A and B are shown apart, each in its own frame.
Chain A
Amino acid sequence: MKILTILVVDDDPVIRRLLQQRLKKENYNVLVAADGYKAQSILQEKHVDVVLTDLMMPGDIGGIEVTEIAKNINKNIEVILITAHSSVDTAVEAMKKGASDYLEKPINFDELFLRLDKIANVQTIFRSAQELQHAMDVTEHAASETIQALEMKTAELQGLLDEVENILRDHDSSEEVRITRALDKISGI
């Protein structure tokens, strides 16, 4: 299964360290940002699968904005919000903006790992579905070129056949002339 890269965004250095250590131990790649601005520049520079962000942070960029930024950069990024119990309504607001889940503080790590596992599973399936899709698209594309070329050729030959028929049925000319003209037509193929 795929190893996820997780971006942790939290203004509290203690929580940041804690998350970083626990996630590393579970074999995830971890990136950290102390605020929304730092998160934004990391998202622009590096590939991230999951953003784990605090909902309430000082400054203009809170969890909702981080969600929007992440989704704008790559809509496949999953965002999990970390919220205080009192801000569940805001978390729901963030889910409308594309966050996929939220966890209440204090963080229950078993729960977090379970959700990350699910995300990894889905992304693995998603990727093999995409690969399959791509293989099918290539096949279909090749088939369509062949079919369309044949379709045009058949129509051209049909047109030629109609002309030859008209020539052969043209009773104003002698048989010999008709045959010569018909053969001329056909040899043009």
Chain B
Amino acid sequence: MLKINSSELKFIAQYIYDISGIFLDESKAYLFETRLSSIAEELGCTSYQDLYTKAKKDTKKTIERQIIDAISTNETLFFRDKGPFELLQHKILPEIIDKRTSASPNLKTNIKIWSAASSTGQELYSIAIIIKELIPDLSRYNINLLGTDISDTAVSQASYGKYNKFEIERGLPQKQLQRYFTLFGDSWKIKDEIRAMVNFKKFNLMLPFSALGRFDIIFCRNVAIYFTLPDRKKLFDKIADSLTDDGFLVIGSTESLTGVCPRFVPKKHLKSIFYQKKL
């Protein structure tokens, strides 16, 4: 494996930060090596300096994309932590639907939901499944489900909706597997009825959110942990701007907004926490 030296560590870490906001500890050389050496070797680079130069010169940004794919941790699973999805089913969705339908009873009810670091799609598909089971007849609703992630390969796997048995094994109950997936060889593919409910796009959370519009529900889980505190503050400030005044924010179960964003107050329902804007 190609070895990285300390000066390379510095500017590669800076480069990764610049393109993704992901902050990597320079003391963890092995992390850079295990994740980047195969890209470097494939491109015939003799050093990480060489890889960096090639990446900078690459106007098509192919190398940059490969580096982001390799560096980002796409670890996710269906119905991760369970609690947030029970929360969605029993508290958030009923409340939002109730508010939106009583506000304009004769129109289609519009609800926008965003999975802000959707990785390979399990989080958004879990949300879609909950919605499908809660509202069997979706024709009176306009439910917009958006998943975004900075990693190209994650976004394309999410869009394709195919999972191997190890990915399926984790978190997906047998009943939902049978109902919403079709077996394809050793893998499972999400059925069109669920696939048609969602949209996946590449998006870097370090950028302004203005083009995305406003959401009623935002899931931003297990991504801010890779950012610095100042970037986390900016991120949740932008999220507050993109959330409707009565909207809901759900973060990772081991994350906290204390000292990060005073615009949100935590609230507890059953065993889970969600956040709403302080008005």
A contacts, CB < 8 Å to B: 71, 75-76, 95-98, 100, 126, 133, 140-141, 143-144, 147-148, 150-152, 154-155
Contacts and interface: CB of A to CB of B under 8 A. Distances in A.
Contacts of A75: 165, 168-169
A96 B253 contact: no
Q: Which label, helix, strand, loop or mixed, suits the secondary structure of the A interface?
A: helix
B185 A143 contact: no
Contact of A147 (B166, B186, B255): B255
Nearest to A95: B185
Interface in B224-266: 253-258, 265-266
Contact of A133 (B168, B170, B183): B170
A126 B167 CA distance: 12
Interface of B: 81, 165-166, 168-170, 183-186, 253-258, 265-266, 268, 272-273
A31 B16 CA distance: 55
Contacts of B258: 150-151, 154-155
Given A144-B253, A148-B253, A148-B266, 19 more contacts: A71-B183, A75-B168, A75-B169, A76-B165, A96-B183, A97-B183, A98-B185, A98-B186, A100-B186, A126-B166, A143-B254, A144-B81, A147-B256, A150-B256, A151-B256, A151-B258, A155-B258, A155-B265, A155-B266
11 contacts: A75-B165, A95-B185, A100-B186, A144-B254, A147-B253, A151-B257, A151-B258, A151-B266, A152-B268, A152-B273, A155-B265
Contacts of B256: 147, 150-151
A147 B170 CA distance: 24
B84 to A, nearest CB: 11
